[in-house]
Amino acid sequence: MRDQTPLRLSDDARKRAIASLRQYVDRELDQEIGDLKASLLLDYILADIGPSVYNLAIADAKKFFDERASDLAALCTRDEFPYWLAQGKQRR
């Protein structure tokens, strides 16, 4: 995502987000807005606030993977030269 393209929603998610914004404005602000105004508001939210939400999601994912990666050394290594250790009598 280095080219910094705007966040985009699928067509279905966009339709649902517009309907949600219209319902929110109607119930919470006691105003009715149409699809065009809701669409413009959604575009603003995605362009201006969306990157902050995206960055938080990436930080959460990075933390998750970093925690899992720190376990790799313990989970993915094997004792070297295990034969004599298993026999309980190491030769010199």
In a domain, 65, yes or no: yes
Residue 4 falls inside a structural domain: no
The two counts, helices (H) then strands (E), for the chain are 5, 0
Predicted local distance difference test score (pLDDT) of residue 91: 57
Its pTM stands at 0.70
Range of the domain at 34: 11-78
- Give residue 7's region: left, alpha or beta (phi > 0; psi -120 to 50): beta
In a domain, 3, yes or no: no
What pLDDT score was predicted for residue 88? 74
Instruction: Please report whether residue 16 resides in a domain.
Output: yes
Tally the domains of the chain: 1
pLDDT tens digits in sequence order for the chain, 92 residues long: 566 777 899 999 999 999 999 999 999 999 999 999 999 999 999 999 999 999 999 999 999 999 888 877 777 777 788 888 788 765 55
Q: Within 10 Å of residue 21's Cβ, how many Cβ atoms?
A: 19
Does residue 67 fall inside a structural domain? Answer: yes
How buried is 86 (Cβ within 10 angstroms: 0-12 exposed, 13-18 middle, 19+ buried)? Answer: exposed
In a domain, 70, yes or no: yes
